[in-house]
């Protein structure tokens, strides 16, 4: 299935878990077969993008596109926050490195005297 990573539908994320029982005991298999998995609840998608894995490509062009979950503006702001945090960490590291060097110089002078 070809699903674009980003585009008019935005960025989507979902998680899939699967448990495989290879050659289970007969009693366990009977229990599993008697209790089928619960279906996922139906969720109204009002105001949220239609998941790309459920979208039929031909029908997408006929329907109005909802706003994407993540916009390029949100991505840009996140990059700026990360860069700002990185700068702050680097500045604090440099400041603390200088404090350590100053204290080491003071310790060396005290040892000399």
- 46 against 86, higher pLDDT: 86
Cβ 78 vs Cβ 11: under 8 Å: no
Query: Cα Rg for the chain, rounded, in angstroms?
Result: 28
- 106 against 1, higher pLDDT: 106
CA distance 4 to 80: 25
| pLDDT, tens digit (0-9, with 9 covering 90-100), for 62-87 | 556 666 667 788 889 999 999 999 99
Closest CA to 12 of 41, 50, 47: 50
List helix spans (H) across 1-113. Answer: 26-34, 57-60, 72-112
Cβ 49 vs Cβ 9: under 8 Å: yes
Residue in the structure block whose two tokens are 């310790």: 107
């Amino acid at each position: 299935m070809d699903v674009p990573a980003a585009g008019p539908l935005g960025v989507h994320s979902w998680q899939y878990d699967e448990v495989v029982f290879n050659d289970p005991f007969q009693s366990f298999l009977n229990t599993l077969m008697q209790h089928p998995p619960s279906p996922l609840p139906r969720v109204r998608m009002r105001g949220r993008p239609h998941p790309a894995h459920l979208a039929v490509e031909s029908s997408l062009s006929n329907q109005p596109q909802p706003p994407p979950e993540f916009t390029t503006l949100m991505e840009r702001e996140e990059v700026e926050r990360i860069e700002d945090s990185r700068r702050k960490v680097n500045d604090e590291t440099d400041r603390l490195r200088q404090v350590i060097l100053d204290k080491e110089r003071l310790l060396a002078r005290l040892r000399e005297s």
